[in-house]
Chains A and B, each alone.
Chain A
Amino acid sequence: MKFVSEFRRSELAKGLISQIHRRSKTPVRFMEFCGGHTVTIFRYGIRHVLPKTIDMVSGPGCPICVTANADLDKAIALAQIPDVIIATFGDMLKVPGSHSSLQEVKADGADVHTVYSAMDALKIAEDNPTKHVVFIGIGFETTAPTIAASILQAEERRIRNYYVLSLHKLCPPVIRALLASGEVKLHGLICPGHVSAIIGSHPWEFIAQDYSIPCVVSGFEPLDILQCVDMLVAQTESGESRVKIAYRRGVRPEGNQQALKLMEQVFEPCPAQWRGIGEVPDSGLKLGKKYQCYDAELAFDIDPGPTYEPTGCICGDILRGVKTPADCRLFSKTCTPQYPVGPCMVSSEGNCSAYYLYGEGFEG
């Protein structure tokens, strides 16, 4: 595929790896925020080709993983209301809430559809005018504008039975919360590529300025990650801390203004609960006043009851970067991709799933 295979060329990877080895002298810890980056790093064995001076740690950039049980329970409660059709991205199906999952309630008769796009959810609403279609709005700044567009499309096409449960989250505020806690000492941050395609690189400036941590926005192919690590090493070795873009073909400093405009038109910031991190101010998105008629939480009376966290699961600590799946007693024993206990094992971009799939973190 064009613009994909070129960025997997092994002879170019060798050049970057040599340059990183030559440049890197001081021990550093870099975090890749995004779960998509975690997958690339594991799939291509990037941790193993980096010098011992570079310690890579994964961050909380997996929207499924960071969704709090209280919010999952709302989605599951909505699915159990008569005449409600749930439309959701597939990754959400198996995520266990406090008492059940969307997949389990679907098996018990709830009408749950897996969709590829919010557009598909709109189509289901159009095709089922006597039902209420609730789209589980999950995702970061990459996805939120697509959901905003779907709501504007619903308005334009006068689709009155389409609702969104908005569980969207914003990345810069949670990175600020992580850094402010001081729990993880970082020397560089690999910033999410497709979040930055929307918001640009400017929203990361505070990390370089307030915390003196270099930031580089990366793409998702192995050469992108290696180039990003090289650019971070160049900064840490010279004592610089700036925001740079390695993924220049996909990200402009100012982001996508049209997408930002639609997102701001439909949503407004609100506090959000992050698994393992807690409530972070202005890190969520709720529907703005004009679009509240599409808000599933306002349209339906839901009471999911008290939340419950699975005993022994350390997904929260893993998401903060303070523990790894190898530290978890449940990992690969009672928690596997087939029978996941925590969300980081369910999502294909979860840290535990990546460890499991690519053979890391196993004893012996």
Chain B
Amino acid sequence: MCLAIPALIKLIEDKEAEAEIGGLTRRISLWLTPEAKVGDYVLLHTGYAINILDQEEAEETLKLLEEIARLTEEES
């Protein structure tokens, strides 16, 4: 029920945006994320962007997980 998926903002018109979600385009509401910009990824829940995805944090997390995998590989 609290499902939210990443959507890429392509175009902003007032409090709405056109966003791409896995190859599909749909209109979404930016009422909850008025600071969103074109090129941002947002978490889309029931038609509303509920947060802007932090792309740097995503990369940091993946780097950390890659490091864990590398260390595990070395140890084995």
Contacts and interface: CB of A to CB of B under 8 A. Distances in A.
A87 to B, nearest CB: 12
Contacts of B57: 248-249
A195 B2 contact: yes
Interface string A223-266: 10001000000000000000000101111100010110010000
Contact of A194 (B50, B69, B71, B75): B50
Contact of A197 (B51, B55, B62, B65): B51
Interface residues of B, number: 41
Interface residues of A, number: 58
B8 interface: yes
Contact of A152 (B31, B55, B69, B73): B31
Contact of B61 (A15, A138, A195, A227): A227
A4 B6 contact: yes
Nearest to A1: B22
A103 interface: no
A4 B62 CA distance: 12
Interface string B1-37: 1111110100000000000011000000101111100
Contacts of A325: none
A84 B73 CA distance: 62
Main DSSP-derived SS at the A contact region: helix
A256 B32 contact: yes
Interface of A: 1-4, 6-7, 11-12, 14-16, 18-19, 34-36, 61-64, 89, 91, 116-120, 138-140, 142-143, 145-146, 149, 152-153, 192-195, 197-198, 220, 223, 227, 246, 248-252, 256, 258-259, 262, 347, 349
B51 A139 contact: no
A133 to B, nearest CB: 16
A220 B4 CA distance: 9
A35 to B, nearest CB: 7
B72 A19 contact: yes
